[in-house]
Amino acid sequence: MNAPNIIFIMADDHAAKAISAYGEGINKTPNIDRIANEGVRLNHCYVTNSICTPSRAAILTGTYNHVNCVTTLNTPIDNRLPNVAKHLQYGGYQTAIIGKWHLGEGKEHEPTGFDYWSVLPGQGDYFDPQFIEMGREVEEKGYATDIITNKCINWLSSRNKNQPFFLMCHHKAPHREWEPHPKNRKLYEEDIKVPESKQTKEPDAAKLVLFGFYVTKISQITNERIFKWKRFFR
């Protein structure tokens, strides 16, 4: 059996209720829904530490946070730890991570186990973001979701076709600060279903509309790229 190619796509602070495959009716994400319909949808998925940095460390290392020692938003990872990319590299995979890292910067915390990496420093910016690419700083013009996706496509296109690959595509969206792409700023002007806030019992429409911009953008990107990405699995 041939080793499968793997693309791991992460969105940041992306609630299940904002994906129409889960039936909440807040907005429509047909292209993300297509992935759910053609694959597997997880209805119950629990974590012990759901905040950003610790959850990223758990996904990368496959260990609880008391083991990998990344316990807070401000705790960087020790990049000497074993991780999924290192194991796959050992098994003959080409590996890459592109997008949000948020596990620390510098030689002791930058990505390891990846043949190619290009990550946002800290939270990163939505427009004209800085990236740290293989240890050097570069500025990319454009919108973060587009840039991250295009970098992933470019890496997939230039890789060695004789080896299996593992790609971690980590989007910044829909994390705050909420800055939608200009082409999406006219969306959600109509009335939309707004769930109650657990804190106030009142709808928070402004935040939901801003959140919707990003979910829509990610779904658009999925639509634009899904057929291009499929060819890498043939």
- Please give the structure tokens belonging to residue 12: 């940041």
- Quick one: which of 150, 206, 212 has its CA closest to 181? 212
Count Cβ atoms below 10 Å from residue 98 Cβ, excluding itself: 28
Q: 226 — phi, psi (to 5°)?
A: -60, -40
Q: Which of 52, 69, 87, 109 is catalytic?
A: 52
Enumerate residues 6+ apart whose C-beta is below 8 A from 229.
7, 153, 156
Burial class of residue 44 in the structure, from the number of CB atoms within 10 Å of its CB (0-12 exposed, 13-18 middle, 19+ buried):
exposed
Facing residues of 139 across strands? 130
State yes or no: is 102 an active-site residue: yes
Residue of 81, 79, 75 whose CA lies nearest to 106: 79
Q: Exposed, middle or buried, 155 (CB in 10 Å: 0-12/13-18/19+)?
A: buried
Catalytic residue among 14, 45, 66, 102: 102
Question: Which amino acids are annotated catalytic?
Answer: 52, 102
